[in-house]
Amino acid sequence: MPQTLFDKIWAAHHVADTAAGAALIAIDRVFLHERTGAAALGRMSEMGRVLHDPARVFAVMDHIVDTRTGRGDGTLMPGGEDFITETRAACRKAGITLFDVNDRDQGIVHVISPELGVVLPGVTLVAPDSHTCTQGAFGALAWGIGSSEAEHAMATGTLRLTKPKTMRVTFDGKLAPGVTPKDMALHLIATHGAGGGAGHAVEFAGEAVTALDMEGRMTLCNMATEFAAMSGFVAPDQKTFAYLKGRRFAPAAFDEPYWTSLVTDEGVLFDKEIIIEADEIAPMVTWGKSPEEAIPVTEVVPQGAAKVHRYTGLAAGIPLAGTQIDVAFIGSCTNSRISDLRRAAAIVEGRRIAPSIKTAMVVPGSMAVKRQAEAEGLDRIFIDAGFEWRMSGCSLCFYAGGEGFPDGSRTISSTNRNFEGRQGPGIRTHIASPETVAASALAGAIADPRDYAQTGEAV
Amino acid sequence: MTPFPQPLNGRAAPLLVDNVDTDTIIPSREMKSTGRTGLADGLFAPWRYLNAGERIENPQFVLNKPDHRNASILLGGANFGCGSSREHAVWALAEWGIACIIAESFAPIFRGNCVRNGILPVALDRAALDSLAGAELSVDLAAQQVRRPDAVYNFTIDPEAKQMLAEGLDAIDLTLGHESDIAAWTTADRAARPWVYLEHTE
């Protein structure tokens, strides 16, 4: 009988049924960070729990670390140092591999896990972080959980799960120039709702998905959680194997027939199918306070709930492009990888951000990304244009109470959440691709990145 | 974990907004310690306070209204608890006294976190939710019913979550009872997928 990739991974990890009919599913990898990891490890220690297999548990300091050069354990967030020192102590005690504040492999969990080959096709990987679905780009079943579930996974090597339904989202055809995986994700969520994926594990497929490089696939899968899906993933192919081959925790080769069996069989039926014509997608920008409140950058603000218009200060009927912005932020697990920085740098190269911009910042997703960008001179391009260039971390994707944007700022951000207050009290966030953020920083207002392409052709 | 009250009685506090996210339930800046406690004060800080820094209450916010200051049942809209996986959102709700959330739908991680912390997530349609706002309710987990004096609403819940909540079970203890299944699976898997198993490289 033909099977979906999801069903294959699920079946391969099925250990037993529970008394009440849920499934005990084996977990191959757990990744912690200091924001939620210390709580999980602290509780385990309190309860006298022992780790099932510490060699398959990893941790990183990313969420509240300082991103300024010369950083140590101190954080700009008041009290943040405790999260770092407690996580470090707990990892040492438990025998967990930790990528510490000044480790050369430090970075955002979902950026470094693939860089290090921690995530592999066909594995189950969980982290107490909602954007764990990013790693589904490698054909893994990767999803975010709470701290209690992280304890469960570490203590037992399993999770008790009720099987989700399956959904396939197919992007047929080719993306238009200047349109990116971020726009694909926002288009999907805007069309089908922030709750559209609820109860489903979502496979992304189709010509426009297969055509993406691994970093693009990560951006697309990253937003599956904003779609309320359990996870999002892409079947592995030669690009996947080539990316992972020989990385620190990955196999040296992917020659066994097993690897190519990790695909959805022909003729299989999904519980739900969504088909999107890729060439109909435009660069997307959010106008409201949910990722579903996103429109093509060329359109006018639609009529939404009064509360949303009040918060964002944007009336229905006005063009979104041209809206003045104060802050431009490039970073986060969604869009902070080397290809993101290259594309944004291609737009800003030789140009200056608008004088009205109060803060413009680039925060590379990992120290490896930072080193690569510096080797290519991208840091100079950003700095010369007026951006700050930081050490890696989650940074201002969310406001933890230390460093923040100026009060009342309107930001354009390559992150994943435009929630009310997410980037600070009263901050109005517009999420978009790194290209759109770069173009908007130059314009001082929300701008169409296709108008700022420099190579004669749109980026 | 203590078993879910049988039944839970209380007045339903309506927060009938869609896409209530966990950043709103507990902002990152309110997660001040590495533990699970001391979070109730920051619950819904962006909406509950006019000035979160000085803790000046917003009298319009539902949980500040006299009828709902001791609410144990909260009503929500669609995709309740979306966003960050932070279990702190559920810890804050539980510490404040919420034992049941009735909403149109839940974000998956949030729903799981509720069950692990003794909060019952109930999904009902919007018409039912509208009729429950402010009403005195009795939530009967065993019968899978939400009752008001003049109406009864049935709800579905997966049997695993129902058992965990009703009996106040610890999931880890329960799973450790499957130790031999886990060991057998691991032995077979080690042979099938040796690359999954790592030695320490530090």
Percentage above 70 pLDDT, chain A: 99
> A with B: how many residue pairs have Cβ under 8 Å apart?
196
The token pair that represents B152 in the structure block: 């009864």
What's at B139, amino acid-wise?
V
Which among B27, B35, B176 has the least Cβ separation from residue A421?
B27
Task: Let me know if residue B195 belongs to a domain.
Answer: no
For the domain made up of A5-161, give the CATH fold.
Answer: Aconitase; domain 3 (3.30.499)
Q: How far separated are the first and last CA of chain A, in Å rounded? A: 43
Report the run of H or E that residue A24 belongs to, with start and end: strand A23-26
Which chain A residues are within 8 Å of B19, Cβ to Cβ? Answer: 194-195, 290, 292
The contacts of residue B110 (CB under 8 Å, 6+ apart) are: B22, B80, B81, B82, B89, B90, B121
Contact A419 B21 (CB under 8 A): yes
Task: With cut-offs at 50, 70 and 90, classify the pLDDT of residue A223.
Answer: very high
DSSP state of A425: T
pLDDT surpasses 60 at A23? yes
Contact A56 B189 (CB under 8 A): no
Looking at 3.10.180.10, 3.30.499.10, 1.10.3720.10, 3.30.200.20, the CATH number of the domain A284-449 comes to 3.30.499.10
CA distance A432 to chain B (A): 17
Task: Let me know if residue B85 belongs to a domain.
Answer: yes
Which chain A residues are within 8 Å of B125, Cβ to Cβ? Answer: none
Task: Let me know if residue B104 belongs to a domain.
Answer: yes
As a dihedral over the C-alpha atoms of residue B28, residue A87, residue A97, residue B84, rounded to 10 degrees, the angle is -20
Q: Where are the beta strands (DSSP E) in B42-194?
A: 49-51, 56-57, 73-76, 100-103, 120-123, 136-140, 145-148, 151-154
The contacts of residue B60 (CB under 8 Å, 6+ apart) are: none
Mean pLDDT across A388-412: 95
Burial group, residue B76, by CB count within 10 angstroms (0-12, 13-18, 19+): buried
- Rounded to whole angstroms, how far apart are CA atoms A25 and A124? 9
CATH number (domain holding residue B73): 3.20.19.10
Task: Let me know if residue B152 belongs to a domain.
Answer: yes
Nearest CA in chain A to B183: A15
Task: Let me know if residue B194 belongs to a domain.
Answer: no
Percentage above 90 pLDDT, chain A: 97
To probe the interface with B, which of A61, A110, A119, A422 has the most B CB atoms within 10 Å? A422
Contact B29 A77 (CB under 8 A): yes
Contact A149 B163 (CB under 8 A): no
Q: Using alpha carbons only, what angle is made at residue A270 by residues A267 and A274, rounded to the nearest 5 degrees?
A: 105
Looking at residue A458, what is its pLDDT?
42
Q: Give me the domain span that covers residue B149.
A: 8-169
Residues B15-43: tens digit of each pLDDT: 999 999 999 999 999 999 888 999 999 99
Total domains in chain B come to 1
Contact B29 A399 (CB under 8 A): yes
Contact A228 B200 (CB under 8 A): no
Q: What number is the ipTM of this complex? A: 0.96
HSE of B79, CA atoms in CB hemisphere, 13 A? 24
Identical topology for domains A5-161 and A284-449: yes
What's at A250, amino acid-wise?
A
Task: With cut-offs at 50, 70 and 90, classify the pLDDT of residue A459.
Answer: very low
Which chain A residues are within 8 Å of B105, Cβ to Cβ? Answer: 195, 198, 228
- The pTM for the full model equals 0.97
Contact B182 A156 (CB under 8 A): yes
- The ranges assigned to domains in chain A are 5-161, 165-280, 284-449
To probe the interface with B, which of A130, A131, A429 has the most B CB atoms within 10 Å? A130
Residues A348-399: tens digit of each pLDDT: 999 999 999 999 999 999 999 999 999 999 999 999 999 999 999 999 999 9
CA distance B79 to chain A (A): 6
CA distance B144 to chain A (A): 16
What does the mean pLDDT of chain A come to? 97
Mean pLDDT across B160-175: 96
Please, what sign has the CA dihedral across residues A389, A282, A431, A326?
A: positive
For the domain made up of A165-280, give the CATH fold.
Answer: Aconitase; Domain 2 (3.40.1060)
Looking at residue B202, what is its pLDDT?
45
The residue among A168, A164, A290, A295 whose CA lies nearest residue B79 is A290
